[in-house]
Amino acid sequence: MNLRFLASDSLGTRSMCTLIETRYGRIMIDPGAALGPRRYGLRPHEIEFETLKRHKEMIAEEARDVDLFIVTHYHYDHFPRPREDIEWLKGKRILLKDPSNMINFSQRWRSRIFLDKLRKVEARPRVADSKRFRLGRCKIRFSNPVKHGNDERLGYILEVLIEADGERILYTSDVEGIVDDDQLDFILRSKPNVVICDGPMTYMLGTRFREIDLKKSIQNLVKVLRMESVESLILDHHLLRDLDWRTWLKPVFEEAETLNKGVFTAASYMGVEERLLEARRRELYGLSKRSNRGHATNIA
């Protein structure tokens, strides 16, 4: 399987948009991208808007040849906003989070608008929670709904395992660094080779993300690295909104070095420059780089 990232926080926008190419078809997971509306009290910089436009164009372009789309939950950095043109989903097969069960109010409302738009472009959505599917000989397995990070008030998400030709890629969606036992259990049972994980939300440490969450996340990430099957751990999304993310995760890097396993961002996995634009918003505006946390607003 070939793994590419079309948009991510390490590439400059809030996203985890992942493209997995197999011999049996192309799969795009969470085809959305967004910007933090406020950071350090600042609106997104022009460079961020330009990057977002480019990422959305890339998603739409690649979508033409995608055979299967997956939507793990209804936050706007993971699926298109209501006013966005989704003609690129015309007639497409889509596996998505149940819009009626294990879902909070805001995501239920967003999902209904999205489903109405999908009907208008004759897309073919199916609920994926806890189910298994096939794309040719490629196997796709979804977790039960698990909490979005540490707080069920933010709703529930789906983790997904893609397996083809003896390779397994696991996409965690927004687990915020694996802070819950149910999130971890699906990973341990799946025995993946590559894990794409939304890292801990350290940029909100002390507010919406607690010290105990960070400790649990580090412990669980180490457990994942110690799995015999795991070769690479890709950490991105919320984690890459913090310029000091490598410092917070020093124990994870030390464990990876001991085990001779790779820890990457989406950008470094693809061998391109990391562009932490939101974390550098002060710098983009010509202001001080510090503090890189604080004054952060809602997750998308």
Q: What is the pLDDT of residues 3-31, one digit of tens each?
A: 999 999 999 999 999 999 999 999 999 99
Model pLDDT for residues 235-252, shown as the tens digit of each residue: 999 999 999 999 999 999
pTM for this predicted structure:
0.95
Asked if residue 294 belongs to a domain, the reply is no
Per-residue pLDDT at 151: 85
Model pLDDT for residues 161-205, shown as the tens digit of each residue: 999 999 999 999 999 999 999 999 999 999 999 999 999 999 999
65: number of Cβ within 10 Å? 11
Asked if residue 101 belongs to a domain, the reply is yes
Cβ atoms of residues 92 and 66 within 8 Å: yes
212: number of Cβ within 10 Å? 10
Beta-carbon contacts of 87 under 8 Å, excluding residues fewer than 6 positions away, are 121
Instruction: Show the tokens assigned to 300.
Output: 């998308």
Per-residue pLDDT band for 288 (boundaries 50, 70, 90) equals confident
SS3 state of residue 144: coil
With DSSP H G I counted as helix, E B as strand and the rest as coil, what are the percentages for the chain, rounded to 5?
35, 25, 45
Asked if residue 291 belongs to a domain, the reply is no
Cβ atoms of residues 224 and 230 within 8 Å: yes
CATH number assigned to the domain comprising residue 91: 3.60.15.10
Asked if residue 56 belongs to a domain, the reply is yes
Model pLDDT for residues 68-89, shown as the tens digit of each residue: 999 999 999 999 999 999 999 9
- Provide the domain count of the chain: 1
Across the range 135-149, mean pLDDT stands at: 97
Say how far apart CA 52 and CA 64 lie, in whole Å: 19
Residue ranges making up the domain that contains 272: 2-284
Asked if residue 169 belongs to a domain, the reply is yes
DSSP label at residue 297: -
Angle at alpha carbon of residue 126, lines to 121 and 130, rounded to 5°: 155
DSSP label at residue 103: -
